[in-house]
Structure 1
Amino acid sequence: MLSDEERDARALARRVADDHIRPAVAEWYENGDAPIRELAVEFGKAGLFGMHLTGYGCAGSSVVALGLTCMEVEAADSGIRSLISVQGSLVMYAIWRYGSEEQKLAWLPALASGRAIGCFGLAEPDHGSDPTGMSTRARQDGDDWVLDGVKTWILNAPIADVAIIWARADKGVAGFVVPTDVSGYTAREISHKMSLRASSTGEIVLDGVRLPESARLPGARSLMAPMSCLTEARLSIIWGVLGAARDCLDTALDYAAAREQFGRPIAGFQLTQAKLADMALELQKGFLLALHLGRRRERQDGPLRPEQISVGKLNNVREAIKIARQCRTIMGGNGILAEYPVMRHASNLESVLTYEGTSEIHQLSIGQKLTGLNAFAR
């Protein structure tokens, strides 16, 4: 069901994960620190950033190849996979689709190579699931724009070289390409996370950030622009979580075959086999769903409909976290040790369950399509 190019992309991503992530990721997670810049350079060398985009140093690979890449990287760690999704499917995609030629030339080659790191500023302290209430404002002052507001839970914010900032203007929502060294822009690390610890997440404060008109994304004229970027990134999540689930299942299978109780391997007990069978079933169903959505995205050459993405994100993340929890039960107390990846995957997936749309939001998206009634309406 996969092309040679897609198999090659999968193999390359697996080698990158084996060489640059797996050997140290448990330590990064425990210390709450990961060498993001060094990883970005390695990912850039392998062409993993914005690989489904064309031109400007991007690989121009298929959407399914990107999905398989995310699956292999998330099999190592969800937080590290998030770096690829944010960089390629949020930051680079926003510039690639809505930016000017000047913006594309200035930023896309540097982002694709990993020489620059980007972040995507949409969520706010009081407006997460409901971006329509966005408080960040962009006002025109002569030929310039002035931005004021706060963004939070922004992956890569503390280390980013450029931020895509979304703000409410007089004529709707506007997007801006903001170099992070501009006056009035500050970012701080959000510490004491118990999940996605091998990543950098922060809060952005915009205090009178003055930008020229050339910083505005000319093709972004409404909230539909950032939402289309999220739709693009969610496809990476739909694929990625399968990698975390697969890694848990592989670990539990090996453990169950080696662990003996009552005189034989626990893999030989009916209850254990029932758990393994159910998990394998859900993992393969999730893969077929991801592949179906990836092929649809390729055929229509544009974002999937929101409810289509919601079906994939709701199902695959929900099943992945169930698999991680079930694998932990097979491994007993050893399942919480850092020498095994299962508890780390389970903890990471708790964050994936809620970011880029909680399960409840995706249920309502599907419900609206089924009934024709908008449950979000005030």
Structure 2
Amino acid sequence: MSVRDKLVIFDTTLRDGEQSPGATMSVSEKIELALLLEQLGVDVIEAGFAIASPGDFLAVTEVSKVIKQTQVCSLARAREKDIDAAVQSLLPASNKRLHTFIATSDIHMQHKLNMSRDEVLDVAVRSVRYARRFVDDVEFSAEDGGRSDPDFLATVIEKVIAAGARTINIPDTVGYCVPHRFGEFIGEIIQKVSNADQAIFSIHCHNDLGLATANSLAAIECGARQVECTINGLGERAGNAALEEIVMAVNTRQDLFPLDTNINPRGLVALSQKVSEVTGFAVQPNKAIVGKNAFAHEAGIHQDGILKHRETYEIMRAEDVGWQGEQIVLGKHSGRNAFLSHMQALGVALDSAEQVEQAFDAFKRRADQGQPLTDQHLLHMVSQLTLSQGQPEAPSPAKTS
């Protein structure tokens, strides 16, 4: 597989994901999640921001000790002190990356950095050169790249590639961009940079307008070959592009994204649930891919279609991302086909059209009242109907060991 045919998955759950207010993780929790991320198949784990705190430094160091295949990364501002801390934290890593950044948008340079364009360019180049003295794989990020002047951004990128950066990340730091324009912007930058073939172009999109995944995919279409993302879309403010959404969009739409990843999608649900458990951040039921309703069907028309031919209403298989069990949910919108299929799965035989109508009518009445519709309730409901007709009681569900 050539590098141009692969999409590098850079996971920043342990770094940017932890920046969600209230989502702080202990070192042991970071180690546990890092091992699961490696098992999932991510290419790069950004384990922390080493200079940020002693805890972050320790987390990067401890993760570096246990991760054997996946690349471990530490973030650093474009400052020697930051880079030194990142280098020290990564010493135990068998495969390491240093990720340094500085803002390139006019609003950040003027109001946050109080620096001119020439000063930012000089700092960016010097920081990459300095980092390359210690680490072969250096990534450079142009913070707020999505709002940067394209000509200036292209100049910075060209110079830092010449200084030794292997990956160039163009973030939509504040979630401001929209897909069609962001994709065009990434493609335009790649075209402007004369030595673009010497680096992998990456994106890191935030979700302030709910467009992080869409912006990432638009950029991938236009030449980006690394995506920075998090499990469950965790992250600063409204979060980041969700790893599970990116991976399954690429897997499902190979006509648009003919790229490979190393991700084993069957581990997505379990890892999502683990991240939710560790952070205390619940996954919304209708969250794509990993929400409990992501593959659930209650509408009768949808259930009927699924039972007849699965692909009528499903573009992915639930089991392919780690879900198990029946995804058809009985409720007031369910039709006869779904109801009868479920009752048959419970071992209940409704022998006549009259029995079917009576059972289905009783089910609908209960569903309309918002009453529970567990298997036990359904079996009891049908048993009451059959007993009233002088027939044997419906069987109880088989016990499983």
TM-score, structure 2 normalization? 0.22
User: Which has more radius of gyration?
Assistant: 2
TM-score, structure 1 normalization? 0.23
Q: Which has the higher contact order (CA 8 A, sep 6+)?
A: 1
Give the helix-richer structure, 1 or 2.
1
